[in-house]
């Protein structure tokens, strides 16, 4: 058998050489990128096929935030009957390069949303079909959006932006292994419309972390798990004292568990419940209470995601 040569790219597989070419950056906010970095990111991201979705995105921003007119060029183009696609593209570029990260993230999220097949997603809700067929159709719904999510995440990773896009929106970046093995597969399953109530609170939780509203995270973490347990146990309404623990116990009893796993999950449940009781913004402020830190808030969010992933996996909801 003849040996076939394999051409090797210089530096491929060598972390040392790659870091010499492209030094590793510390995680940072989007606002901390230089203008040149944003310009490079924009050139990588932009495609001339994006003009129509960019127009829809800028129209949305003008409607939602009319008092600040984020898409002034498009407003002028519509009024004076000029090139709307070109004007929207100019607005998109200006916001991407110059505006505060909150407006940038809102714009990029709406841009991704444009590529989700919402009609098909609504049809999927409540459909009585097999799990494999459901997952196949759900992947079709998000097919185009997933491409742009991947592109944006590549930019965020290369420029060390401390956020990651998913089918649920933005969530905080942390160790890549945690993102790939916990957050991404779990959020992919939760894109099923039946988990809408859970996602509402998860999105608020992630937004609170990004906005540094750390004391609100405990409440949304609790609400996320509580909403999840209600869906699992097929319960509507309610929020009586002790119900969280009862729902948790009922969900756990439906799964074969070792005593070690039971104790571990019970610890997570108690941790989330106690954090909400002691730190949640919905609760009266305790005298001399120490506010949650960034690392403590991240710990609470990770506990939530571990708990949700365990139950989803145990129900054979996550497919590799």
Q: Residue 48 domain-assigned?
A: yes
Domain-terminating residue out of 128, 156, 184: 156
> How many whole angstroms separate alpha carbon 277 and alpha carbon 281?
9
Same domain membership, residue 177 and residue 115: no
> How many whole angstroms separate alpha carbon 81 and alpha carbon 193?
40
Predicted pLDDT of residue 183: 93
**Which residue reads 């590793």 in tokens?**
24
CATH code, domain carrying 300: 1.20.120.330
Same domain membership, residue 150 and residue 251: no
> How many whole angstroms separate alpha carbon 139 and alpha carbon 121?
10
Same domain membership, residue 230 and residue 137: no
Same domain membership, residue 316 and residue 235: yes
Among 91, 54, 85, which Cα is nearest to 70's?
91
**Both tokens assigned to 181:** 């093995």
Same domain membership, residue 167 and residue 108: no
Same domain membership, residue 178 and residue 152: no
Domain-terminating residue out of 156, 183, 208: 156
Strands (E), the chain: 163-166, 169-172
Tell me the whole-structure pTM to 2 decimals.
0.79
> How many whole angstroms separate alpha carbon 305 and alpha carbon 263?
17
**Both tokens assigned to 111:** 């841009």
**Which residue reads 């965020």 in tokens?**
156
> How many whole angstroms separate alpha carbon 33 and alpha carbon 216?
27
Same domain membership, residue 172 and residue 44: no
Q: Quote the number of domains for the chain.
A: 2
pLDDT tens per residue, the chain (320 residues)? Answer: 788 888 888 888 888 888 888 888 888 999 999 999 999 999 999 998 899 999 999 999 999 999 999 999 999 999 999 999 999 999 999 999 999 999 999 999 999 999 999 999 988 887 778 888 988 999 999 999 999 999 999 999 999 999 999 999 999 998 888 999 999 999 999 999 889 999 999 999 999 998 889 888 988 998 999 899 888 888 776 555 557 888 888 877 777 777 777 777 777 878 787 777 776 555 545 555 567 888 889 999 998 999 899 888 886 544 44
Predicted pLDDT of residue 320: 40
Same domain membership, residue 129 and residue 234: no
Same domain membership, residue 137 and residue 235: no
> What would you measure as the largest C-alpha separation in the chain, in angstroms?
78
> How many whole angstroms separate alpha carbon 106 and alpha carbon 169?
10
- Tell me the three-class secondary structure of 105-156, residue by residue: HHHHHHHHHHCCCHHHHHHHCCCCCCHHHHHHHHHHHCHHHHHHHHHHHHHH
Q: Residue 6 domain-assigned?
A: no
Evaluate whether 145 touches 111 at the Cβ level (below 8 Å). no
No. of helices (H) and no. of strands (E), the chain: 16, 2
Domain enclosing residue 67, as ranges: 33-156
> How many whole angstroms separate alpha carbon 164 and alpha carbon 30?
12
Alpha carbon 245 to chain centroid, angstroms: 27
């Amino acid at each position: 058998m003849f040996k076939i040569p394999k051409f090797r790219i210089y530096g491929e597989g060598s972390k040392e050489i790659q870091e010499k070419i492209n030094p590793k950056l510390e995680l940072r906010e989007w606002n901390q990128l230089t203008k040149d970095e944003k310009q490079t990111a924009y050139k990588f991201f932009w495609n001339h096929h994006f003009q129509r979705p960019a127009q829809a995105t800028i129209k949305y921003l003008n409607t939602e935030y009319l008092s600040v007119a984020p898409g002034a060029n498009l407003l002028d183009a519509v009024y004076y009957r000029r090139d709307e696609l070109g004007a929207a593209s100019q607005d998109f570029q200006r916001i991407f390069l110059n505006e505060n990260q909150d407006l940038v993230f809102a714009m990029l999220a709406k841009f991704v949303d444009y590529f989700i097949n919402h009609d098909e997603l609504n049809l999927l809700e409540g459909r009585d079909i097999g799990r494999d067929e459901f997952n196949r159709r759900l992947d079709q719904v998000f097919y185009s959006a997933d491409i742009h999510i991947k592109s944006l995440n590549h930019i965020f990773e290369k420029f060390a932006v401390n956020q990651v896009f998913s089918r649920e929106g933005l969530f905080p970046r942390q160790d890549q292994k945690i993102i790939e093995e916990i957050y991404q597969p779990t959020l992919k399953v939760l894109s099923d419309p039946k988990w809408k109530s859970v996602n509402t609170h998860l999105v608020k939780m992630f937004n609170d972390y990004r906005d540094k509203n750390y004391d609100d995270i405990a409440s949304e973490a609790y609400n996320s798990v509580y909403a999840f347990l209600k869906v699992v146990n097929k319960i509507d309404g309610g929020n009586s004292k002790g119900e969280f623990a009862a729902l948790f116990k009922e969900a756990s009893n439906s799964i074969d568990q070792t005593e070690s796993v039971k104790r571990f999950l019970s610890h997570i449940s108690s941790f989330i419940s106690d954090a909400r009781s002691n730190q949640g913004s919905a609760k009266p402020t305790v005298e001399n209470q120490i506010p949650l830190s960034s690392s403590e808030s991240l710990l609470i969010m990770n506990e939530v995601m571990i708990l949700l992933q365990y139950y989803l996996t145990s129900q054979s909801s996550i497919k590799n």
